[in-house]
Amino acid sequence: MSKPHIVIIGSGWAGFYLAEYLSTTLYDITIISPRRTSSFTPLLASAACGLFSFYLAEEPVRSKSRKCRFLKANVTSISFPSKTLHCAPAFDDDTDPITNQPFTLSYDYLILAPGCIPNTFNTPGVAEHALFMKNVSDAMATRKLLFDLLEKASLPTCSPSRKSELLHVAIVGGGPTGVEITAELDDLANHELRDLYPDVAPYLHISIYDVAPNILGAYDRKLHEYANERLVRRHVAVETNTRIEMVDGEALWVKGNGRVPYGMLMWVTGNKATDLVMGMRDVRRSEQGLVRILTDNHLRVFKENDSEDVWDGVFALGDAADIDGQSLPTTAEVAVQKAKYLVQLFNSGSKASFNVAASMPFTYTEKQLVSYIGSRDGIIAGRGDREGWTGRSAWLAWRSGSVMWTRSWRNRIVILLTWVLNWIFGKEIAKM
């Protein structure tokens, strides 16, 4: 007797966890994703700035211990009544005819976890000229560009004014990702780069631009004001209430300030729905803000009408989905907790059959927000009656939390050993 077929769309936090822990004894499992690796997003900024090797910030979907089928493809549309997926191979700029041949795939259970893509807010020039921070390829591109800019600025023909332009790092987005990238770059600039590039490192300066009235808006006023004050003290320009009108290869145009030259532009302003989610007309979706697939509290996908009808065998989680009426944040923590819930639900089934409606609904356990703000300083949000706190203990909490996001003890040990070696001998910048 054949086993029920589970298809997982996406290899991010939720999709990868499901592939790791769903029972292959009970189910045949297929993962469809355009990326063959799953990135540990909290580690990307650290990897980009040389705290450890890039391979430690991602893990391959294929594994000898993971008995799942993987297809490097995009799902272009879904027929929920017939339980059929329409797919296209995901090989950019590949002229081999086989990469242009679409295919279909049937499922018994479908788990939607396609994630999101960076939101450029249709700002002209961003897609062509900005760097993002969604995967290891982005982190590698960031490191390469930074050191290319340092080498250009070191040339004898480069004037002081041009050095300042080349070594201006403009970061658009004042949320945790933008601030943590700023923190890691600032640490790098004030330590290793001053030794290796003594003539040009002082020209490196960082600006954070955000349309909101303050950075780190998820934290209370005391904490985000503390972060702002500390960054400004380290000569980071924090530009809030700022709108970027357009971008070209050398400058961004700031409303009210005009043209601002840059050498590296990082765009970390938030997410928008993928083409797959935007094209779904037969599921209920959120109507305000980020477009997300709406589910019940068992993570089953609602049909497009206003009734409580759900699609048979279809579940959704991760950044692309939300429980109707709850509005949970788009974080790795939420994605993993939902994935754990589905793993327990599926694996508890007797002979791969279970009663979803009779199971306990999903409940989210909120964890404290932690952010690194540079110079071994951090902030931790309060919870309940307990106030948040700052300082080195917050930084240590963030660092230890980052290590635990990796999915193997081998990687955790290597990261810890690398940090110890960096502390003793400094970062191996020469190998970047």
Q: Hey, what are 299's tokens? A: 């993570």
Angular region, 83: left φ>0, alpha ψ -120 to 50, beta rest: left
> Half-sphere exposure of 123 toward its Cβ, with a 13 Å CA cutoff?
22
Angular region, 95: left φ>0, alpha ψ -120 to 50, beta rest: alpha
Cβ-based burial of 341 (10 A; exposed 0-12, middle 13-18, buried ≥19) = buried
Q: Where are the beta strands (DSSP E) in 296-404?
A: 300-302, 310-316, 321-323, 370-374, 377-380, 389-391
**Averaged pLDDT, groups of 10, the chain, 432 residues long:** 92 96 95 95 90 89 89 97 97 88 97 96 97 96 96 98 98 96 95 93 97 94 95 97 96 96 96 96 93 96 89 97 94 95 87 68 91 94 82 89 78 86 72 50
DSSP state, residue 32: E
Return d(Cα 273, Cα 276) in angstroms, integer.
8
CA distances from 13 to 59, 71, 196, 209, 337 (A): 11, 17, 37, 28, 10
What pLDDT score was predicted for residue 266? 98
What pLDDT score was predicted for residue 430? 47
Partners of residue 321 on adjacent β-strands: 293
CA distances from 62 to 30, 70, 71, 74 (A): 11, 7, 10, 17
Which H or E run includes 14? helix 13-21
What pLDDT score was predicted for residue 352? 46
What pLDDT score was predicted for residue 351? 46
Token match 């201006």: residue? 168
Strands 205-209 and 168-172: parallel
What pLDDT score was predicted for residue 382? 82
- The pTM for the full model equals 0.93
DSSP string, 144-186: HHHHHHHHHHHSTT--HHHHHHHTEEEEE--SHHHHHHHHHHH
